Structure 1
Amino acid sequence: MSSGPTLRPAVPGQRTAAPAGAHPWETPPPDWVSTRALGRAVLLTGLLLVAGALLGRVDLVVLAAPFALGTAYALRRRPTRPPEIGIGADDTNLVEGAALLGGISVGNRDDVGYDLVLVRTVVSSWLRIDEVHFAPGGAGSPEEAQPAPGDADRAGTRRRDATDRPYGFTVPAGTIADLELRGETLRWGRHSIGPAAVRAIACDGLMASQTVLSEARLVPVYPVTEPFDADEAMPRAAGLVGGHRSRRPGEGGELAGVRIFGPGDRLRRIDWRVSLRARQLHVAAMLSDRDAEVVLLLDVLAEAGRSGGIRGSASVLDTCVRAAAAIAEHYLHRGDRVSLLEYGPSARRLRPATGRRQYLTLLEWLLDVRVEQSPHEPYDQVFGPQLLSSNALVVVLTPLVDARSAAMLARLARSGRFVVAVDTLPTSATPPSRGQWTEVAHRLWRLDRETTIGQLREHGVPVVTWAGAGSLDLVLRDVARLASAPRPALR
């Protein structure tokens, strides 16, 4: 594992503040308490001794001697420190469908060994744990951990997750025992392993510790970047240098045409064949290579569909996050600037930048994307010139479920920006059946949505369904043609 677990003691060295409602002179509960087995041993020994003394029977006293000696021998060394527990996980570069390796460490800093330790934890439903291995004493080869007696499936059926039951093992004095959790990540996001609970039994089952809880460990799982590639030119490249063919003449690798030699032209650009035929110097005009800015606007006003993880169906949020990661990866690898915006109540924003660092920051930003429904109009200042450049390509990932999303696309188009809408609504998204008119109402809603999409296209907003590689090629081609077309002069 990349980072080891942090052991958390049950009782800190300093006294903690008393809970609300408790008396100031009330002492905290002890770390170790006696079990029912100790009470039964003391009770049985006392009854035998009292009966032997009252009845004058030596055999009852002799019969009580093994119980008294066994209890005294077991309690000769009592534990004074509670067990410690920590959760660790390999959280480096985990993506959907990757193998997961986690661990729960139980430490014993006392001089008395624990006869039995019961550990139980809670794991997110998007982290499937298939195997649990036990490493005794923190060393040696791991072995298959056994569930605690009485908690196994009585019907013999296989459980959904290996962490649905507690596990029991021994921890010698001064050692750390590890439970290794092996499984698979099913969906992107920040998922938790824990909290975990541990309880130790010592002194041959006569003493038990209080239950110790550990804080949950968040494991970041990054979305799978679907294959995406766009070969078309950007509508308007604004930078000085970059990897895109610009509509502006300059020093680049794309031939724009042949023209007459003029002041400032370089001699190496002279086309001698054309010059000899025309008997006048001509030069080859090139298009400049520039970088572009891509703004990914995520519509988080509504969610539809059911998320089934990496191997199941995709919801609106799944398609939105995975598509954003794929588009950003493509343009960042080409040297462009990419920024992220949320269209919702919080209006989160990631500033435009380039390079691998921006890509890693972008993935971390996507892990916190959540659907936020609000009756109020979302923060409208995100469309200001200080956040959205007039030369940027705005890719809006939206399901077009909320009427405010269509209005937002229309405002972007009227502002003169280059907008591409990516439809993230899955075809399998259907409402739950609640009556005989549900299907008819859903069909009418679909027709109304198709009408809205048609109106957006008439206003110059292309709407395309996300389909991975090549999804935006035809759309970018049309947008680039519109950007290069002459505009009428205002009088």
Structure 2
Amino acid sequence: MILPDLTELVAMRGAAHGLSLHTHRPALAMLHGGHRSAQRGRGLDFEEVRRYAPGDDARTIDWRVTARRGQLYTKLFREERERPVWLVADLHSGLFFGSRYQLKSALLLRTASMLAWVAALGGDRLGALITNNQSLPQIFPPRAREAGVLPVLEALVEAQPKMPGAPDEKGLNLALASLRPLLQPGSLVMILSDFSGLNDLTEASLAGIAFHNDCRLLWLTDPLESSGLPTGKYRVGLPGQLWWMNGEQSRTAWQEKWAARETRLDQIARRLNLPLIRLDTQNPVTETLPPLLRESTW
């Protein structure tokens, strides 16, 4: 299988034309876990305060100014022209795996690339956090147009795994913890991961992020993960740590373990009211993402 290079990811700009991240949610029900969350829209910048008038939203009352002046005052905001869009790319060696059209790591890069171009072409500022079996993720602050996209694509190509390895169970949680203090209310956060390190800390971090932001989960999967090995004997494992496995004898336990991860992720998405979008290695990104990102359907 061919690893994506920068030329391929840059060329995906063409496939991003006509798509939008500012679309409606109902079409998410077509995919696995079509959960809905509140549409928060773009963030708002504080502009000034003025005297409270009947009909103003009580939640915007500035209580400090009110206490100082003895009369009700409310905050006025202006809409941001460019919403921050954050990509969280949970890259690790465990994604160097794929039984069909592409590796899971390649699926992540191609998905991230298309989403990045859609954001830039839509006038949003793109930021990113990229993990790579390192102690801390790479952080790219939000920037507009190509200045925001190209450094992220270069880093993704450089960070993609070149050989099989063990999953990094701490990378996603480190990325989410690093992201929280960087977020402005109203940001869009898209998390690309296989969620192999999913735990209680992950759920707590997602809850904190989703409280003031629009958060979406993109789950990277491969058909072999859910079905198990075919009948027969296979050498499995990592380089230097290979063993024989019987496909038929291992299938029940294999499928039970996968079902447990699927159930837990689905439950977390439902509890937090987050969209959960399942992307599979057997389907090209250029075929699966556009139907979701068209103005009239997502």
Which TM-score tier does this pair reach, normalised by the shorter chain? 0.5 to 0.7
2:219 is aligned to: 423
Q: CA deviation at 1:289?
A: 8.1
Q: Is the 8 A contact 1:306 1:315 kept in 2?
A: yes
Q: Is the 8 A contact 1:306 1:313 kept in 2?
A: no
Provide closer, same or farther for how the CA distance between residues 471 and 407 of structure 1 changes in structure 2, counting only shifts above 3 A: farther
2:202 is aligned to: 408
Q: Matched residues in 2 for 1:340 and 1:410: separation? A: 20
**What are the equivalent positions in structure 2 for 1:53-452 lying under 5 Å apart?**
186-189=2-5, 221-223=7-9, 225=12, 227-228=15-16, 229-230=19-20, 232=23, 235-238=40-43, 290-301=81-92, 303-304=94-95, 306=97, 313-343=101-131, 345-371=135-161, 373-374=167-168, 379=174, 381-385=177-181, 387-404=182-199, 407-415=201-209, 416=211, 417-429=213-225, 430=228, 432=236, 434-435=245-246, 436-452=248-264
Q: Is the 8 A contact 1:395 1:421 kept in 2?
A: yes
Moved more, 367-376 or 461-470: 367-376
Per-residue displacement from partner, 1:300-359 (whole Å, max 9, x unpaired)? 245246358xxx621221111100000010110111101110245331111110012322
- DSSP 3-state at the match of 1:338: strand
1:462 is aligned to: 275
Moved more, 424-433 or 353-362: 424-433
Q: Is the 8 A contact 2:217 2:274 kept in 1?
A: yes
Q: Is the 8 A contact 2:84 2:126 kept in 1?
A: yes
Provide closer, same or farther for how the CA distance between residues 449 and 332 of structure 1 changes in structure 2, counting only shifts above 3 A: same
Q: Is the 8 A contact 1:302 1:401 kept in 2?
A: no
Larger helix proportion of the pair: 2
Q: CA deviation at 1:294?
A: 0.7
Q: Is the 8 A contact 1:398 1:422 kept in 2?
A: yes
Q: Is the 8 A contact 1:465 1:471 kept in 2?
A: no
Provide closer, same or farther for how the CA distance between residues 412 and 443 of structure 1 changes in structure 2, counting only shifts above 3 A: same
Q: Matched residues in 2 for 1:427 and 1:300: separation? A: 19
Q: Is the 8 A contact 2:194 2:220 kept in 1?
A: yes
- DSSP 3-state at the match of 1:360: helix
Q: CA deviation at 1:374?
A: 4.5
Q: What root-mean-square deviation, in Å, do the aligned CA atoms of Structure 1 and Structure 2 show?
A: 3.4
Q: TM-score, normalised by structure 1?
A: 0.38
Larger strand proportion of the pair: 1
Q: Structure with the greater relative contact order (CA < 8 A, sep ≥ 6): 1 or 2?
A: 2
Provide closer, same or farther for how the CA distance between residues 383 and 304 of structure 1 changes in structure 2, counting only shifts above 3 A: closer
Q: Is the 8 A contact 2:140 2:152 kept in 1?
A: yes
Q: Is the 8 A contact 2:43 2:185 kept in 1?
A: no
- DSSP 3-state at the match of 2:290: coil
Per-residue displacement from partner, 1:273-296 (whole Å, max 9, x unpaired)? xxxxxxxxxxxxxx9783311100
Provide closer, same or farther for how the CA distance between residues 332 and 376 of structure 1 changes in structure 2, counting only shifts above 3 A: closer
Q: Matched residues in 2 for 1:453 and 1:376: separation? A: 16
- DSSP 3-state at the match of 1:384: helix
2:56 is aligned to: none
Provide closer, same or farther for how the CA distance between residues 462 and 375 of structure 1 changes in structure 2, counting only shifts above 3 A: closer
The unaligned stretches of length 5 or more in structure 1 are 1-125, 127-185, 190-219, 241-286, 478-491
Provide closer, same or farther for how the CA distance between residues 450 and 472 of structure 1 changes in structure 2, counting only shifts above 3 A: farther
